[in-house]
Structure 1
Amino acid sequence: MRITTLCMSTTVQRTAVFERINMEEVNRSVHYRLDASGKAVNAARVLNQLEEHCAFLICPAGMENMDEFVMLAKADGLEASIIPVPGRVRECCTLLERENGRVTELVMDEPAYTEKKDTELIVKAEKQLWSELQKALKKSDALLFAGTTPKIWPEDFKVRVCKSACDTGVVILVDFWGKELLSVLKVCTPDIIKINAKEFCGTFCKTEITDTAELMRVVADKSRELNNCIVITRGGDSTIGAFRGEAFEVPTEKVQAVNTIGCGDSFSSGFLYEYLKTAAENSGKPDIQAALAKGTWCAARNAECEKVGTLYE
C-alpha cells in the first residue's frame, strides 16, 4: 500500500512534562522531547508503523529552522519531499501535567510573508511542490490531506490539489473544514471527509447538534447527498461514520491517557489504512465498521504515549 500525505503546516513539536503547572510561578519540566509534527506528518508516522514504508510525506518547511525539522523527520524514518520556503517552521508546545492528567497545546503560527523576494521564493516552492505531488499521486493508492494552509499559499490551493487527486483516481481523505472544505466540494468530492462534530456542524449545519441519534441521521443524509464517506470524531464520545447514506457508530476505547494531542491524526491513518485494505479485499467496497474500529484503536494507542502522533514510543 502507498499513501501520500500532504502537510502544509509543518511543525516542530515540543512536548514538556510537568508534575504540576502553577500559572503564577516558574514551572520546571520533568523532561521534554522534540518531534516532527503537523497533522499529515503525524499521520505519515502512524501509517509507517502500520505498514513499513507505507507513507510518503510532502511538506514545505521554513528555511530558517528547517534543518531541525529534517533531522527529526529522518529520526522517525519518514520518507519525505521537504520543500524550502521563506521563514520558519512553526512550533507547537504540548504541556503535560502528570498530577491531574491535563494536556494543552500552544500553537505559534507562521508569519505571512509579503516581501517581493519572499513571493518569488514561494512561487518557486509551489511549482516544486506541485511537481512532487503529481509524481507521488501516480504511484499512490490514496492522498491524505490534513490541516491548515498558511496564507502565503494561493487561496485555491486546496481546491486544485483535491481536483488533481480526484482526476488521478486515487482515494482522497481530507481533514479540514469550513470555507476551505465547501470550496473543494464545489469542484470535486473527496472520498472521505474526516472532521470532528463541531467542525461538521460549523460547515454544514446552522446549529450544533449534540444528540447522537440526530447527528447520525444528519451525517448519513450528507454522505448520501455527497455519495461519499464522512467520519465524525467526538473526543471521548463514540465515533460516527456514514457511507453513502448508511450510518455506523463505534465506541471509543477507554485508556489511561497520557497525551491526547495527535489522536485525530492517528485515527485518520488507521481509518484510511483499513478502508483501503478492506476495499481491496472486497471488490472495491470498504468495510466502514472495521475502518472505524482500526482508527479508534490507533487513536487509543496514541493517547497512551507522550510522543504526538504515534502508536508506540
Structure 2
Amino acid sequence: MITTVTLNAAIDKTYYVPLFTQDSVMRVQRFYAEAGGKGINVARVISQLGKSVLATGFVGGFNGRFIRQELDRQRIQHDFVEVAGESRLCLNIINESDGGSTEILEPGPVISDEAMEQFGEKLKMLAKRSIVVCFSGSLPAGVPKDFYAVLVSMAKREGAIVLLDTSGEALLRGAEAAPFMIKPNEQEAAQLIGETLSNGLEIMKRLATLERMDIPCITVSLGSEGSLVYFQGAYYRVQPPLIDAVNTVGCGDSFMAGMAVCIAEGKSIEESLSYATAVGSANALNEKAGYVNKVDVDELLKLVQIERL
C-alpha cells in the first residue's frame, strides 16, 4: 500500500469568468470544487493508475467533511485526524479572456499539540502497513518547522520508503531526516546548498555531496524542460514529451504519484523516472489538477527521453 500525507488539506475551487475585473459583479460561467492539497492530488492520481492508496492528514469542519465525501465518491481510502476549525478553501479565478488566473488562499486551521500527537500515532500504524509514504505540501499553522523531519523519521522507523515534496524551511528541515527522495525546483535546490548556481547539473552535484543529506534520490524539477536527477552516485536528465498543455497545476504531484507507484513495485530508477514523467505530462492534458488518463500515460511513456550523464 502507498500512503499519502496532506497536512494542510483543502477544497480547491475554480471559477471561470468571461472577463475578470475589479470592483464589479461577475457571473461565473462554470466552476468545480475538488478535494485538494498536494498529497490528496498524489493519492487521486495513484488511484487513477489502478493502485492501492490511502490518504491521511488533518481535516476540520464543513470543508473537512466535503474532502472526506469527495474521496469517498472517488473511492479513495482515507483516515484523517479531525481538528478544530475549518480546513482551508483555495479559490482560483480563471479569466477566460486572456487565460490569466487569480488565487485566493485561506490559511486553514491551527493544529493543536493533541492533534499532532494523535497524528503521530496514526502515522506509525499506517507506515507499518505501507511500502511507500509520500509527504506533500505546506505545513499548517501550529506545527513546528521541523514537523516533516519528525514524521519522516517516524515513518522510516516503521520500515516505509519515504518521499518528501515540500518547500522553504519545511524542506530544509525535512531533508535532514534523509527521506528516500526529495523533489525541489531549482530555486529550492539552491536554498538547500546555500548558494545560487546557474547550471542545473552543478546544483545537483553540490546537493549530492552535502554530508548532511544522506538522500538516495534527488530530482530537481525544471518545469517543462523535465528534470535533473541524482540517484545513488549517478546523474540523469529526463526530457518530457512535447505536448499542448492545458494545465500545469498538479504535474509535480502526478510525477510524485508515478514515482511512488514504481518504487512500491520495485522498478529500476530509469523505469521509475520515465513513468513518473509520463504521468506528470498526462496531468497537463487535463483541465483539473491531479487527473490523468492511463491511456495518455501509456502513449506519453513512449516519448519520454532519459539520459545518464
**TM-score tier (shorter):** 0.7 to 0.9
- 2:126 corresponds in structure 1 to 136
8 Å CA contact 1:142–1:171 kept in 2: the answer is yes
| Deviations 1:107-126, CA, capped at 9 Å, x for gaps | 2222547xxxxxxxx34323
Provide the secondary structure at the position in 1 that maps to 2:81.
Answer: strand
Extract structure 1 runs of 4+ deviating beyond 6 A.
none
Q: Deviation per CA, 1:83-133, whole angstroms, max 9, x where unpaired?
A: 2111111111223344544445432222547xxxxxxxx343233322221
User: Which stretch shows the higher mean deviation, 12-21 or 217-226?
Assistant: 217-226
Aligned partner of 1:167 among 142, 157, 163: 157
Identity in percent? 27
The letter for the 2-side match of 1:269 is: A
SS in 2 for 1:183: helix
Contact 1:5/1:145 (<8 A) preserved: yes
Shift of 1:137: 1.0
Kept after mapping to 2: 8 A contact 1:94/1:105: yes
Distance in 2 separating the partners of 1:210 and 1:76: 43
Any stretches of 5+ residues in structure 2 without a counterpart? 295-309
What's the counterpart of residue 36 of structure 2?
Answer: 37
1:128-151: CA deviations, max 9, x gaps?
322221111111001101111112
**Is residue 83 of structure 2 the alignment partner of residue 85 of structure 1?**
yes
Q: Distance in 2 between matches of 1:75 and 1:205?
A: 44
Structure 1 residues 183 and 225 mapped into 2: Cα distance closer, same or farther (>3 Å)? closer
Cα distance in 2 for partners of 1:97, 1:290 equals 39
Q: Please give the alpha-carbon distance, in whole angstroms, between the structure 2 residues aligned to 1:72 and 1:13.
A: 12
Aligned to 1:117: none
Q: Supply the AA of the counterpart residue of 2:275.
A: K
Provide the TM-score with structure 2 as the length reference. 0.85
Look up the match of 1:294.
275
What pairs up with 1:1-313 in 2 under 5 angstroms? 2-23=1-22, 25-52=24-51, 54-103=52-101, 105-110=103-108, 112=110, 122-186=112-176, 188-207=177-196, 209-222=197-210, 226-277=214-265, 280=266, 286-312=267-293
Contact 1:103 1:260 in 2 (8 A): no
Q: Deviations over 1:234-276 (max 9, x none)?
A: 2212211110221111113332222221111111111222233
Letter in 2 for 1:245: G
**Structure 1 unaligned spans of 5+:** 114-121, 281-285
The alignment covers a number of residue pairs equal to 294
Deviations 1:187-223 (A, max 9, x none): x31010112111111222312x343443343345459
- Check 1:223–1:93 CA distance in 2 against 1; reply closer, same or farther (3 A cut): farther
Aligned with 1:232: secondary structure? strand
Q: RMSD value over aligned CA atoms?
A: 2.5
